[in-house]
Amino acid sequence: MAMLESEGAPAASGATLARHTAVLPAENVTGYRAFQAGSFEFHRDEYFARITWPGGSHVMPVDYFLRALMRDVAWGFFYGTVNFDGVFGTTNHYGEVTMYAGLYNDSFKAAGRDFSERFDSNDLMGVFKAMIGDWTNAGYDPFAAPMETGTPWGPKQGANHSAVERLRVTAKRMVGLPGDTPVRTDESGFPVNRMFHDVPQDAPKVFAEPGFEDEVSAFNLFAYLSRSDVTWNPSVCSVVGESLFCPTSEEFILPVDHGNDRCEWFIVLTDEIVWDVKDKETGKNRARVIMKAGDVACMPADIRHTGYADKRSMLLVWENASPKIPELIAKGEAPLVSVQF
Ligand SMILES: [Fe+2]
C-alpha cells in the first residue's frame, strides 16, 4: 500500500482535518487502483466509479465522474462548491477543502445521512491527481468534448498523462503580454477547433509609445478561444486587481453543478448555452436560463448551476476573486445578487 500520509501542521482554520490518504494496489480484475482519503474510499470498474464512506455508498458513471474530477483537479477545487452530482463533491475553503456525500442534498440531510470530512487542500489534491492519472485510459481525455475523444470504459488500458496534467491558463496580467501566458497558434499546438473555422484569425496591431512596449498589448479573444482544446474550463486571461476575466469554450455538458460562493457574471459570446439553476443548499430547481450570443447574466451567490451547449460556444466568466467575499456574504455584509431592479 502506498501511503500519501501527511504529518501536517495544525489546521489554519482550527478545524479538525482528516489526514489519512492512501493509494491501494491495482485490483486483479480491472487493473485500476483504489484510493482512500480520510474515511472515503474510491474504486472504479469498467463502467462506474464507486464511492464509500462510513454508513453510505454512491455510484456514478465513470465518464461523468472523470470529467468532474478533472475540473476539480485543474481548478484547484475552484470557487465554492464543485458538485460532481447531487450527492458527492467538494467545497473549497481556500487552503482547506471539505469532501462530502449528501451535504447539499435535501433527502440525505433530512434523513441525517450526510457525511463530510475536511482536508488540507494539498492532501486531497494528491489523492485526486493520483486517481485521475490511474483511472484515465489511453485515448480518453476527460477535458475534451465527447465527439473529440475516445471512451473511458473497460479495464485499465494505458494512461493519458499529458491530457490530465494540463495546466489551467492563469495569466498574471493578460494573455500575450511579455512574460505572460502566450496567445495560441498552430505552431504551439492549438489549431482552430472544428466548430470555429468561421472565426477570423486576424490580430490587432498595437503601436506603443517608446518605453511602453511591455505595458500596452491587445489580442484577438475570439481567435484565442477558437483554439481552445478543452471545454468547460474557465481560464484566467486578464487580471485587474481581483477582477478576473475567465473565458472558456463550451460543448456538451458542464460536468459539475457549480455551487457559487460569490456572484458570477456570464456573457455568452457566441452561439447558445442553456443553464439549469438550482438552490445551492437543497438542489431544488430555481430557473432555466437560455442565453444566446450577446446575453449577459449574473448568477447569484446562493445557487448551483450546470450548463448545456449543443454547438461549441464561447463564454466569458467574470469573477471577483477576493477571498473576503464568502465571509462577507455569510455575515450578510455582501449581497447574494449583484444587481437589483
Ligand atoms: Fe458558478
pLDDT in tens, 127-182: 999 999 999 999 999 999 999 999 999 999 999 999 999 988 899 999 999 899 99
CA of 264 to the centre of ligand 1 (A): 6
Output the pTM of the full model: 0.94
CA of 308 to the centre of ligand 1 (A): 14
CA of 304 to the centre of ligand 1 (A): 7
Q: Work out the percent of the chain whose per-residue pLDDT is above 90.
A: 92
CA of 276 to the centre of ligand 1 (A): 11
CA distances from 17 to 21, 34, 239 (A): 12, 22, 33
Closest CA to 145 of 259, 255, 245: 255
pLDDT for position 214? 85
Buried/exposed code over 190-206 (b: 16+ C-beta within 10 A; e: otherwise): bebbebbeebeeeeeee
CA of 26 to the centre of ligand 1 (A): 36
**Which of the residue ranges 9-23, 70-84, 204-218 would you say has the lowest mean pLDDT?**
9-23
CA of 4 to the centre of ligand 1 (A): 31
Q: Are the C-beta atoms of 130 and 23 separated by less than 8 Å?
A: yes
CA of 138 to the centre of ligand 1 (A): 31
CA of 8 to the centre of ligand 1 (A): 31
CA of 299 to the centre of ligand 1 (A): 7
Listing DSSP states for 151-200 in one string gives: ---SS-----HHHHTPPPPB-SSBTTSTTSPPPP-TTTT-PPPTT-TTS-
pLDDT for position 168? 85
Which residue type is seen at 138?
Answer: A
How far apart CA 86 and CA 260 sit, in angstroms, is 15
- CB atoms within 5 A of ion ligand 1 belong to 258, 260, 264
CA of 284 to the centre of ligand 1 (A): 16
CA of 214 to the centre of ligand 1 (A): 33
Cell numbers for 96, please give them. Answer: 482547506
pLDDT for position 167? 85
CA of 87 to the centre of ligand 1 (A): 18
